[in-house]
Structure 1
Amino acid sequence: MKFNKLNTIILLGLFAIIGILIAQLLWTKKAFTLEEKKFSQTAHIALLEVVKNLYQGTSHELPSKNPIEKISNDYYIVNVENDFEPEILEFYLKSEFEKMGITTDFEYAMYNCQSDEMVYGNFVSLSDKAKAKAKVYFPKHKNLVYYFAVRFPKESSYILSSLQFWFVLSFALIVILVIYVYSIFTILQQKKYSELQRDFINNMTHEFKTPLSSILIASNYLNRQDTIKSDEKLEKYTEIIINQSNKLNHHIEKILNIAKSDNSPLDLDLKELSVVSIIENVVENIRLKYENATVHIHTEKDYGIKADEFHFTNIVYNLIDNSIKYCENKPEIHITISEENRNLKLEFSDNGIGISKKNLSFIFDKFYRIPSKKSNEVNGFGLGLYYVKKICTLHHWKINAKNNLENGITITLLIPLKS
């Protein structure tokens, strides 16, 4: 696949989202570490207060050395160097943990010097939601006599619960990344199908050109024969073949031009043009083709614009031709030229069949043809107005369409004028 501007934007967008996601995950990990450290400090302070409470009313002094030691992430031992009752210990543990905002469940055990082992105390649920757990073995710590141990079995889940916002944000970024990747995949698939469609149309039209040229050459030669000229019916049929072949050739050329402009940008040959002169020339040619059509030009003066003469002529021709083809009565087109907010305003108003509101916004789309009885009668590929819109965009002009009050539509071109 050709590496172009679209692929560059896609890759930059993908790298940006992945980078943000990685940064978010790293920050989440860092936040978890900080929360874990904060919990450890809070538990340390709470256990220190428990030690102070246990020493109150006794003749013993507080240990000079820090009595609290963290054995693992969720396991602490506290050296009190003093005898104490389990009920009092539990009361102080619950009180101090609640004061410090530690609401996770915990369990404790005390060392019994007589049996030389840790005696399980109790499982305390501060959240009032957890069920009593089975007794957990507390390992004995050597060189200590009067001490107790505290374990927080749900410390990890407790810390994770405080990081809900971080996880929601990370999940949202993952969802955005998945949606982005899916969208890009869909766009690339559509692009691939569009390229296949364009290649098919190009190949098909090129294949049509050769036999069509042969038909035109043979038909023109046939039409010059005396035998054909002497027979009115044969001459009429030959002219039908030539006319229809020319019409088909015109459609094929239009498809090839559109396909060419899709593959590579059109080069505009910009020069000063007389708007009224070009419109009058187009109207004169239109009258030769449609004798019953009436075209009125309304303008106070001639205007000059800088544009590509060939493409501007085609724009005017396409708009008038469409107005005539999609009219069930005698075609009557009004072309109004005026100035509006430093823009040259060209209005092409007709008395045709009009367009429903739901279809009006699609008339400039490629290959779009309004589903109607008249559309079925008119030959075409839905490329005329697409071409008009494309040329207007290349010139940086604005184009829009609206329905008239009674019947028909008005297509308006806004062309910036020089200051």
Structure 2
Amino acid sequence: MKIYQVGGSVRDEILGIQKSADRDFVVVNATVEEFLNAFPNAKKVGANFPVFLVNGEEYAFARKEKKVSPGHKGFDIISDPEVTLEEDLKRRDITINAIAKDIETGELIDPCGGLKDIKNKKIVHITDAFAEDPLRVYRVARFSAVLNDFSVDPSTIGLMNSLKKELYEISVERVWGECVKALSAGDPSKFFELLKESKVLDIHFTELNDLIGVPAGPAEYHPGEIDTFDHTMKSLRRISGKTKGTDPMLAFSVLCHDLGKGLTSPENYPHHYDHDKAGIESVENFCKKLKTPSSYLKCGVMASKYHLVAAKIKEMRPAKAVKLLSELKHFPAGSIKGFLRLIYADSGEGTETLSSYIDKVLPALDEKLPEKWKDMGEKSGEILLQIKAEKYKELKDNIISGEK
């Protein structure tokens, strides 16, 4: 029996990335009985072929796959002691994920040229068998976001495009699973840009695809931006964590903030009047199709609804400003500070002055309703809003006085 460490953890060790918490292992030249004799506490978790958990780490027996029907589930799986390590590695999607490490000697086994592609910073499919599993289109796009200084080989992009019709067969849950991993990656924009380049963005991300070719706005406000899709990608990059990863809910908020521009009638270009309000329905449709969690839906709706008005809070009447701040406190991607990052992503301009202003007026929200005005239904709410608005005005006046 031989055991090898395989997959992303090996790749990341070679790249010098912090060791992955999730290591995967492949078992070759062994029966299940022999494996359990060596690891009596192993817990079986695989249904279609032998997979075990040992101390929280996954040990899968080497296997081959044979395509028997369309879709990502249409495979016969062959797993027995005769399957070699090389056969197991060659069934994988891209070369840099097909490197194994002997856990006893540390020797690297690389039958697919993954080491060369790591050196050249290339994402390359292993064989045309890549096309047997359409989910790999989204996996490659996700790896592009994770390994954001790598480029995807043109032949791989061509294969991704050839799978366009089969993408309809993938469950949206699996698509969202890859998408949310990409949103957490160092540069989420690479995920969507690669789907655009391979001409498959329209399959599951229709509302984003509709932004292609739509002017972002008047040129003086959007210099150097090709269209609204380009603006959205640049906005994403402004809040991307690169090597540290990205807040996925904030990234999703940025992704959604201008979806309403896809609904603008061309006769109104380059203006997008009321796109913030129009975008709410687009966000709701987008999230419904992807079956996103409710927290992501809330992020997207708030991003569309408030990204313009929040930047102009200083100009608002006190009561309206208090209502807005009360809403933004409940922004799932980091409350008010998170929303300020969204404003920065959209505008590309610093929000330090706005942030300082909000910090100074925010105590207005802490005002309480006196006992004598409680239990009066709607009237109590109106009075409390008036009290908070008066405090807000007082704090704002103090700021203005201090600036003189």
Higher strand share: 1
Same fold flag (TM > 0.5): no
TM-score for the superposition, normalised by structure 2: 0.20
